[in-house]
Amino acid sequence: MSALPVMLTVWLLVILYRILRNAGDNIIDGLFRILNSLRGVKSTSPEAWAFEFPGANLIQALLPVLIVFGVGFAVTNRPGRRALAWVERRIDRLPILGFVYSSIRQLVDALKGLGGERKFKGVAYIEYPSPGCRLLGFVTANYFDAQTSKNVTAVFMPTSPNPLTGFVVIVDDEKVTKCDMSLEEASKLIISAGLVSPMAADEQVERKA
Q: pLDDT tens across 189-200, in order?
A: 888 888 877 764
Can you give the residue ranges of every domain in the chain? 1-78, 122-199
Q: What is the mean pLDDT of residues 158-176?
A: 85
Residues 66-103 have pLDDT tens digits of: 988 888 888 788 888 888 888 888 888 888 888 888 87
The answer, yes or no, to whether residue 208 has pLDDT greater than 70, is no
Residue 141: strand pairing partners: 154
- pLDDT, the chain, mean: 81
- For residue 82, the number of C-alpha atoms closer than 13 Å in the C-beta half-sphere is 3
pLDDT score of 153: 92
Predicted confidence band of residue 159 (pLDDT cuts 50, 70, 90): confident
Which CATH number is correct for 122-199, 3.30.40, 2.30.30, 1.10.1400, 1.10.340?
2.30.30
- For residue 139, the number of C-alpha atoms closer than 13 Å in the C-beta half-sphere is 22
Long-range contacts of 148-153 (CB under 8 A, 24+ apart): 148/172, 153/124
The answer, yes or no, to whether residue 109 has pLDDT greater than 70, is no
Neighbouring C-beta atoms of residue 121, cutoff 10 Å: 14
Query: Residue 23 burial by CB count (10 A; 0-12/13-18/19+): exposed, middle or buried?
Result: middle
pLDDT score of 182: 85
